[in-house]
Amino acid sequence: MLLYTVTGGMLMDVPRKKILNETIRNAFYHVPMWFCMMTLFTCSIIYSILYLRKQNLIYDIYAKEFARTGLVFGILGLVTGAMWASYTWGKPWSNDIKQVGAAIALLIYAAYFVLRNSMTDLDKRARVGAVYNIFAFAMLFPTIWIIPRLTESLHPGGQGNPVADPRNMDAPMAIVEWLIAVPGWILLGVWITTINIRLRKIEDKNLLHA
């Protein structure tokens, strides 16, 4: 209720930007979801590297679950972005380079789970999955961060992060974005992941002795 009150305009207003208007409030959802996704994917690749170094299957569980939650938040980010685009661009999908790049990145991560599920040997699945996870993480940068900024795009922020531009947010909105929304969504993603990890460890405790 408090978050709704803060972001709903009862305790604060938002900059009345041309075209965006009230839809700028989606910055409290769409943008932090992408930050959450990147944080979870980063945690996932760290555990994949740890698995390749120590060959402990518990690290594979951590890598898989962080990637799974990251993919969910990435999909939510894509959906909220499409909803935002329907108001500001006229339709939810315009084949914009940032939309296409984000979709490709998420499909690459979806393939990570398809690849894992195609193998029954636990060690082989963990090893191949870890290597592929490193590839998938590396592909995030050209598909989401590099190529879209080298090409004309309807999406704002071609030369940087539009949320970090003080011309787009006033001080109250920036405070809510950086001190509440971004940390809040990241903590939510990590919390969901830790719950899933506990469930997987309970399921596999006889195998992993963990």
For residue 48, pLDDT beyond 70:
yes
Which position has the token pair 């690849």? 115
CB burial string 164-194: b at 16+ within 10 A, e below: eeeebbeeebeebbeebbbeebbeebbebbe
Tell me if residue 158 falls in helix, strand or coil.
coil
Which pLDDT does position 174 carry in this prediction? 84
What average pLDDT does the chain have? 86
Spatial separation of the C-alpha atoms in residues 121 and 142, rounded to whole Å: 32
pLDDT at 110: 98
pLDDT in tens, 80-132: 999 999 988 899 999 999 999 999 999 999 999 999 999 999 999 999 999 99
Kindly tell me if the per-residue pLDDT of 160 is higher than 70. no
What local confidence, expressed as pLDDT, does residue 2 receive?
40
pLDDT band at 165 (very low <50, low <70, confident <90, very high): low
Give 181's DSSP letter: I
- The CA angle 177-103-180, to the nearest 5 degrees, is 10
pLDDT digits (tens, 9 = 90+) for 124-156: 999 999 999 999 999 999 999 888 888 887 777
